[in-house]
Structure 1
Amino acid sequence: MAAIATAINVLGVLFLSHAVYSAYEHSLLPSASTPSMLSHSLLPASLDPKITLPLDITLETLFSVLLLCAGMVLSCADLKPIQWRAWAGRLEASQEAREVKEVGVGGGNPYQALEERVGFWDISGVGKATRGWMDGGGDKKGKGRV
């Protein structure tokens, strides 16, 4: 599949290069600098094109862009699952993914470093400690509770 995607990308680049070169050569022609009458009525003067390209150059450009898009989509890696549990389960089940190859690469849970960092504040632990303090620290009628 990678060979097909590479071939499509190469064809797309060749067609796009030819279309750009053709547009440049067409812009040098004296007859190309006459704008169409339709463009004056629809576009403001700052956006009015000074050169009208022939249909074949426009179609070649669009075709090359479509080829490049298809080649990029075919050459990309497989998509990851959207559900966290499916992705994390597959990642943690593989022995290869659990091996730490270098800093920041591998090791199972990619968020493990965030959870174990020095400044991480565990809200549930603080809540338990606060409830214990409030239950034991207030009087029996409940005046000390919030």
Structure 2
Amino acid sequence: MAVLASVINILGMVFLAHAVYSAYEHSLLPSSSVPQPPSAILPAALDLRVNLPLDITLETLFSAFLLCVGVVLSSPGLKPIQWNAWAGKLERSKEAREIPEVGVGGGNPYAGLEERPGFLDVRGRRKEFAQWIQQDAVGEKS
């Protein structure tokens, strides 16, 4: 498959180079320098002043199509996105736990989100408040 993709890419490049060269040569012809009458269909902003022959236009489109097909065929296969499998694999590996860039403590890629300084831990604050109330209640009874 890689050989076929390379051949298609090379053919697309050859056709594109030929189309560009043909367009350049056509622009140098004395008949192509004659201004074209404005189009009755297209607005003035979209009206092209260069009148390329149909074969050059089709060759350009064909070469672009070949290049697109060749690039798609030569690209590697897509891998499924499974963040939970990736994170679990990282947490279980010893090498990832030793790398500090993976997470805050290493190993857990989501640890940075859980241990960030600006993160308000509501459950932890609730427990602290309940302990403070219990200590206050014990202090009043004594």
TM-score by length of 2: 0.67
Structure 1 counterpart of 2:43, one-letter code? L
Match runs of 1:38-77 below 5 Å: 39=39, 42-44=42-44, 47-77=46-76
- 3-state DSSP class of the match of 1:39? coil
Q: Which residues of 2 match residues 1-146 of structure 1 at below 5 A?
A: 1-37=1-37, 39=39, 42-44=42-44, 47-85=46-84, 88=86, 92=89, 112=109, 115-116=111-112, 120-121=116-117, 123=119, 126-138=121-133
From the CA coordinates, give the structure whose radius of gyration is larger: 2
d(CA) in 2 for partners of 1:49, 1:66: 22
Structure 2 unmatched runs, 5+? 137-142
Unaligned runs of 5+ in 1: 141-146
Q: Could you tell me how far apart the structure 1 residues matched to 2:57 and 2:119 are?
A: 59
CA distance in 2, matches of 1:103, 1:40: 67
Q: Percent identity?
A: 46
**1:143 corresponds to:** none
In the aligned structure 2, how far is the partner of 1:111 from the partner of 1:35?
67
Residues in 2 aligned to 1:134 and 1:103: alpha-carbon distance in whole angstroms: 34
Q: Could you report, residue by residue, the CA deviation over 1:30-55 in whole angstroms, capped at 9, with x for unpaired residues?
A: 111334445365232x5542220000
Give 2:50's aligned amino acid. Answer: I
CA RMSD of aligned residues (A): 3.9
Aligned AA for 1:133? Answer: E
For normalisation by structure 1, the TM-score amounts to 0.65
C-alpha displacement of 1:104? 7.2
Q: How many residues are matched?
A: 128
- For residues 17 and 110 of structure 1, the distance between their equivalents in structure 2, rounded to whole angstroms, comes to 51
